Structure 1
Amino acid sequence: MPERVRWAVDQLPLRPGRRVLEVGCGSGAAAGLVCARTGGGHVLALDRSATAVTRTVERNLGAVRAGVLTVRQVALAELSVPAASFDVAFAVDVNLFWTTPAAAELSVLRQALAPGGTLLVAYGPGPRPGRQADVLRRVRAAVDAHGFVAPLVLVEDRGSGVLAGAPAGGEPAAPPAAPPVRRR
């Protein structure tokens, strides 16, 4: 289990009954951890890669059979779900959030998250701090630009990321500001 995956899952407000969306499920490690913490909830894990989807299903076959985990091969920009379908959405090491404007993807996430829901875009701690700061700045700017509120930049020994909320009913987007940083 990669430490950055365990760290990312530890940042999420998980409890029984939560509806969770994982973007870029890869090997299925995070999906398994999240399923264990959301008894009675549901997890939708997605990835563009057929290989990743197969690995996630194989690794978490019990959760899939129990109806706790659904795994789909789809790009986030093409995901269609009813509005407010999820309480939490997260991605670990999904580069499109900093290598592209991620406009379509963040629009999908904003629509898919319930008011007051949580978004986490996480990465490992990174070997080059200067690069890590640039990645987190880009992700925070993209999240800000799509109306997520109170984005918090997390920088810790085990991982880093941007944690933000979906606006509560009718709440206006927060204006961009200097990124708050939480370090441990």
Structure 2
Amino acid sequence: MKKLVITGYRGNELGIFDTNHPGIKIIKTAIEDRLLRMIEEGLEWVLISGQQGVEVWAAEVVLSLKKQGHSVKLSITPPFADFTERLKPEKQAEFQQLRLAADFYQPLTSGGYQGAWQFQERDKFLIRNSEGTLIIYDEEQPASPQFFLKLIHDYRERQPTYYIEQVNSYDLNDTAEQLKWKEGEENGY
């Protein structure tokens, strides 16, 4: 697999409103662990739409891996040009930094929000232009990623080789336990 979409919950859907929330480290670690394996297997591109939450955290992981010397590229394709217009100024600045650091950036449509169809077309575009998806989503906690997941399952009926890796709350709990264990070892416990 050369191109992978990463998506999942928005921060507010997880109750994460602060950039120092401990849950972010857990999610980023889960993403990094999976990306390292996939990069070893030939992954070249990570595709996101730039949505706040899992996608932004995934972009930060990709950029960190690039700084460490891994050959992976970041593509950001928001649904429309004024995608960050309604965000707080600090979130707009954060997104601009990601945009500048990305290897590819191109909004799907020009101008501002025109309708929900833009989000649907964004999702279809990302799926068509990738070979798999890593999605941070748990069906026991329904939220906006359910629509992307449904599109993936529909697409997979026509393209059965399309790869899906879903990270749920149990997987994140395992990652949290591993982090605690690793930190305990580093502190001599």
Report the TM-score when normalising by structure 2: 0.42
The structure richer in strand per residue is 1
- The structure carrying a bigger helix percent of its residues is 2
Task: Flag the structure with more relative contact order, 1 or 2, with Cα contacts below 8 A and sequence separation at least 6.
Answer: 2
